[in-house]
A and B are shown apart, each in its own frame.
Chain A
Amino acid sequence: DAGVIQSPRHEVTEMGQEVTLRCKPISGHNSLFWYRQTMMRGLELLIYFNNNVPIDDSGMPEDRFSAKMPNASFSTLKIQPSEPRDSAVYFCASSPQRATNGYTFGSGTRLTVV
Protein backbone atom coordinates (compact mmCIF):
# COMPACT_ATOMS: atom_id res chain seq x y z
CA ASP A 1 0.00 0.00 0.00
CA ALA A 2 1.48 3.35 -1.05
CA GLY A 3 -0.27 5.25 1.72
CA VAL A 4 -1.95 8.60 1.30
CA ILE A 5 -0.37 10.42 -1.63
CA GLN A 6 -0.30 14.18 -1.81
CA SER A 7 0.98 16.40 -4.57
CA PRO A 8 2.83 18.61 -4.96
CA ARG A 9 5.15 18.32 -1.96
CA HIS A 10 6.09 21.98 -2.25
CA GLU A 11 4.32 24.83 -3.99
CA VAL A 12 5.43 28.42 -4.34
CA THR A 13 3.02 30.81 -5.98
CA GLU A 14 2.36 34.49 -6.29
CA MET A 15 -0.43 36.24 -4.49
CA GLY A 16 -3.63 36.16 -6.50
CA GLN A 17 -2.88 32.93 -8.31
CA GLU A 18 -5.01 29.81 -8.10
CA VAL A 19 -3.52 26.87 -6.20
CA THR A 20 -4.73 23.27 -6.36
CA LEU A 21 -3.58 20.64 -3.92
CA ARG A 22 -4.22 16.99 -4.64
CA CYS A 23 -4.74 13.90 -2.56
CA LYS A 24 -5.15 10.21 -3.23
CA PRO A 25 -6.45 8.35 -0.15
CA ILE A 26 -5.73 4.76 0.75
CA SER A 27 -7.90 2.39 -1.22
CA GLY A 28 -10.87 1.27 0.86
CA HIS A 29 -10.81 4.22 3.24
CA ASN A 30 -14.23 5.92 3.26
CA SER A 31 -13.26 9.10 5.06
CA LEU A 32 -10.94 11.85 3.86
CA PHE A 33 -9.78 14.90 5.78
CA TRP A 34 -7.98 18.11 4.89
CA TYR A 35 -5.94 19.85 7.60
CA ARG A 36 -3.87 23.01 7.64
CA GLN A 37 -0.85 23.35 9.93
CA THR A 38 0.68 26.69 10.92
CA MET A 39 2.88 27.73 13.80
CA MET A 40 0.24 30.09 15.12
CA ARG A 41 -2.85 27.90 14.85
CA GLY A 42 -1.49 24.36 14.89
CA LEU A 43 -3.45 21.65 13.06
CA GLU A 44 -6.83 22.87 11.91
CA LEU A 45 -9.45 20.64 10.33
CA LEU A 46 -10.67 22.34 7.16
CA ILE A 47 -13.14 19.84 5.76
CA TYR A 48 -13.88 16.14 5.74
CA PHE A 49 -15.71 13.74 3.46
CA ASN A 50 -17.46 10.44 4.11
CA ASN A 51 -18.05 8.32 1.02
CA ASN A 52 -17.13 11.29 -1.20
CA VAL A 53 -19.75 13.54 0.42
CA PRO A 54 -18.63 16.66 2.35
CA ILE A 55 -19.79 16.27 5.94
CA ASP A 56 -18.32 19.26 7.74
CA ASP A 57 -16.72 22.24 6.02
CA SER A 58 -17.01 24.62 8.96
CA GLY A 59 -13.23 24.84 9.16
CA MET A 60 -12.82 26.25 5.66
CA PRO A 61 -11.55 29.75 6.38
CA GLU A 62 -13.37 31.63 3.64
CA ASP A 63 -14.93 31.39 0.21
CA ARG A 64 -11.53 31.44 -1.44
CA PHE A 65 -11.15 27.83 -0.28
CA SER A 66 -13.00 24.95 -1.89
CA ALA A 67 -12.63 21.18 -1.79
CA LYS A 68 -13.99 18.41 -3.96
CA MET A 69 -13.98 14.65 -3.94
CA PRO A 70 -15.27 13.52 -7.34
CA ASN A 71 -14.57 9.84 -6.61
CA ALA A 72 -13.26 7.57 -3.87
CA SER A 73 -9.66 7.83 -5.02
CA PHE A 74 -9.14 11.55 -5.49
CA SER A 75 -9.68 14.86 -3.74
CA THR A 76 -8.59 18.44 -4.37
CA LEU A 77 -8.28 21.52 -2.21
CA LYS A 78 -8.32 24.74 -4.20
CA ILE A 79 -7.46 28.27 -3.12
CA GLN A 80 -8.49 31.05 -5.46
CA PRO A 81 -7.16 33.70 -5.21
CA SER A 82 -4.27 32.81 -2.92
CA GLU A 83 -2.94 35.22 -0.28
CA PRO A 84 0.32 35.25 1.73
CA ARG A 85 -1.58 34.29 4.90
CA ASP A 86 -2.52 31.01 3.23
CA SER A 87 1.10 29.91 3.51
CA ALA A 88 1.10 26.70 5.55
CA VAL A 89 1.49 22.95 5.34
CA TYR A 90 -1.67 21.28 4.10
CA PHE A 91 -2.25 17.67 5.08
CA CYS A 92 -4.63 15.16 3.64
CA ALA A 93 -5.55 12.12 5.73
CA SER A 94 -7.81 9.13 5.26
CA SER A 95 -9.32 6.45 7.44
CA PRO A 96 -11.89 3.72 7.42
CA GLN A 97 -15.21 5.09 8.54
CA ARG A 98 -15.07 3.15 11.81
CA ALA A 99 -13.84 5.67 14.32
CA THR A 100 -11.67 3.18 16.20
CA ASN A 101 -8.74 3.88 13.95
CA GLY A 102 -6.54 6.88 13.73
CA TYR A 103 -5.94 8.57 10.45
CA THR A 104 -3.21 7.84 7.95
CA PHE A 105 -1.67 11.11 6.86
CA GLY A 106 -0.04 12.07 3.62
CA SER A 107 3.33 13.80 3.61
CA GLY A 108 1.73 17.22 3.29
CA THR A 109 2.09 20.07 0.82
CA ARG A 110 4.09 23.07 1.93
CA LEU A 111 2.46 26.11 0.31
CA THR A 112 4.25 29.42 0.14
CA VAL A 113 2.39 32.41 -1.26
CA VAL A 114 4.64 35.39 -2.02
Chain B
Amino acid sequence: AQTVTQSQPEMSVQEAETVTLSCTYDTSESDYYLFWYKQPPSRQMILVIRQEAYKQQNATENRFSVNFQKAAKSFSLKISDSQLGDAAMYFCAYRSRRSNDMRFGAGTRLTVKP
Protein backbone atom coordinates (compact mmCIF):
# COMPACT_ATOMS: atom_id res chain seq x y z
CA ALA B 1 0.00 0.00 0.00
CA GLN B 2 1.15 3.51 -0.69
CA THR B 3 2.01 5.81 2.20
CA VAL B 4 2.49 9.55 2.21
CA THR B 5 4.60 11.22 4.89
CA GLN B 6 4.68 14.88 5.82
CA SER B 7 7.33 15.27 8.48
CA GLN B 8 6.58 18.89 9.37
CA PRO B 9 3.42 19.20 11.48
CA GLU B 10 3.81 22.99 11.57
CA MET B 11 5.72 25.61 9.63
CA SER B 12 5.78 29.37 9.73
CA VAL B 13 6.95 32.00 7.26
CA GLN B 14 7.22 35.74 7.19
CA GLU B 15 4.96 37.50 4.74
CA ALA B 16 6.66 37.94 1.33
CA GLU B 17 9.24 35.25 2.13
CA THR B 18 9.57 31.77 0.67
CA VAL B 19 8.73 28.51 2.43
CA THR B 20 9.12 24.87 1.43
CA LEU B 21 6.86 22.09 2.69
CA SER B 22 8.20 18.55 2.57
CA CYS B 23 6.52 15.35 1.43
CA THR B 24 7.81 11.85 0.82
CA TYR B 25 5.90 8.82 -0.36
CA ASP B 26 6.38 5.13 -0.71
CA THR B 27 5.24 3.17 -3.74
CA SER B 28 6.28 0.33 -5.98
CA GLU B 29 4.46 1.79 -8.97
CA SER B 30 6.00 3.87 -11.72
CA ASP B 31 2.92 5.65 -13.03
CA TYR B 32 1.09 7.88 -10.56
CA TYR B 33 0.13 11.43 -9.74
CA LEU B 34 1.01 13.69 -6.85
CA PHE B 35 -0.98 16.63 -5.52
CA TRP B 36 -0.87 19.39 -2.96
CA TYR B 37 -4.14 20.49 -1.41
CA LYS B 38 -4.77 23.52 0.75
CA GLN B 39 -7.34 23.52 3.55
CA PRO B 40 -8.03 26.97 5.03
CA PRO B 41 -10.09 27.42 8.22
CA SER B 42 -13.24 27.23 6.09
CA ARG B 43 -12.24 23.51 5.75
CA GLN B 44 -12.74 23.53 1.99
CA MET B 45 -10.15 21.32 0.25
CA ILE B 46 -8.56 23.28 -2.59
CA LEU B 47 -6.27 21.77 -5.20
CA VAL B 48 -3.06 23.80 -5.36
CA ILE B 49 -0.87 21.92 -7.82
CA ARG B 50 -0.40 18.50 -9.37
CA GLN B 51 2.49 16.56 -10.84
CA GLU B 52 2.46 13.57 -13.19
CA ALA B 53 5.16 11.07 -12.31
CA TYR B 54 6.25 10.48 -15.90
CA LYS B 55 6.99 14.17 -16.40
CA GLN B 56 10.44 15.27 -15.33
CA GLN B 57 9.61 18.96 -15.44
CA ASN B 58 8.47 20.36 -12.11
CA ALA B 59 4.95 21.78 -12.07
CA THR B 60 4.38 25.46 -11.31
CA GLU B 61 1.24 27.46 -10.63
CA ASN B 62 1.94 31.15 -10.12
CA ARG B 63 3.66 31.44 -6.71
CA PHE B 64 3.48 27.69 -6.10
CA SER B 65 6.01 25.24 -7.46
CA VAL B 66 7.13 21.72 -6.67
CA ASN B 67 10.46 19.94 -6.48
CA PHE B 68 9.72 16.42 -7.67
CA GLN B 69 12.49 13.90 -7.13
CA LYS B 70 11.15 10.58 -8.40
CA ALA B 71 14.12 8.43 -7.42
CA ALA B 72 14.06 9.84 -3.91
CA LYS B 73 10.23 9.69 -3.80
CA SER B 74 10.12 13.28 -2.67
CA PHE B 75 7.59 15.95 -3.61
CA SER B 76 8.07 19.28 -1.86
CA LEU B 77 5.97 22.41 -2.29
CA LYS B 78 7.57 25.84 -2.50
CA ILE B 79 5.48 28.92 -1.86
CA SER B 80 7.11 32.14 -2.99
CA ASP B 81 6.19 35.66 -1.88
CA SER B 82 4.01 34.23 0.90
CA GLN B 83 0.75 36.00 1.58
CA LEU B 84 -1.49 36.05 4.64
CA GLY B 85 -4.09 34.12 2.66
CA ASP B 86 -1.67 31.23 2.27
CA ALA B 87 -2.14 30.35 5.94
CA ALA B 88 -3.79 26.93 5.98
CA MET B 89 -3.25 23.20 6.35
CA TYR B 90 -1.43 21.75 3.37
CA PHE B 91 -1.85 18.12 2.40
CA CYS B 92 0.31 16.11 0.08
CA ALA B 93 -1.51 13.34 -1.78
CA TYR B 94 -0.71 10.37 -3.98
CA ARG B 95 -3.01 8.93 -6.59
CA SER B 96 -2.31 5.70 -8.41
CA ARG B 97 -3.22 5.51 -12.07
CA ARG B 98 -4.21 1.89 -11.51
CA SER B 99 -6.43 2.14 -8.48
CA ASN B 100 -7.87 5.63 -8.79
CA ASP B 101 -8.03 6.31 -5.05
CA MET B 102 -5.99 9.03 -3.36
CA ARG B 103 -3.94 8.77 -0.16
CA PHE B 104 -3.12 11.81 1.93
CA GLY B 105 -0.33 12.76 4.27
CA ALA B 106 -1.03 14.00 7.79
CA GLY B 107 -0.74 17.63 6.76
CA THR B 108 1.42 20.65 7.57
CA ARG B 109 -0.08 23.68 9.24
CA LEU B 110 1.40 26.83 7.70
CA THR B 111 1.32 30.12 9.58
CA VAL B 112 2.13 33.36 7.78
CA LYS B 113 3.43 36.17 9.97
CA PRO B 114 2.73 39.77 8.94
Report which A residues bind B (CB closer than 8 A).
31, 33, 42-43, 45, 48, 50, 55-56, 89, 91, 93, 97, 99-105, 107-108, 110
Contact = CB atoms under 8 A, between A and B. Distances in A.
Interface residues of B, number: 24
A104 B44 CA distance: 10
Interface string B40-84: 001111010010100000000000000000000000000000000
A110 B96 CA distance: 28
Give the interface SS of chain B, mostly helix, strand, loop or mixed: strand
A33 B64 CA distance: 27
Contacts of B104: 42-43
B52 A100 contact: yes
Contact of A97 (B37, B100, B102, B105): B100
B100 A99 contact: yes
| Most chain A CB inside 10 Å of its own CB: which residue of B43, B47, B97, B107 | B43
B13 interface: no
- 6 shortest interchain CB distances as A-B pairs: A105-B45, A43-B104, A102-B47, A99-B97, A42-B106, A102-B35
Contacts of A105: 44-45
A27 to B, nearest CB: 19
Contacts of B106: 42
A30 to B, nearest CB: 9
A107 B44 contact: yes
Contacts of A104: 47
Nearest to A37: B43
A45 B101 contact: yes
Contact of A48 (B45, B101, B107): B101
B45 A91 contact: yes
Given A42-B105, A99-B33, A108 B43 contact: yes
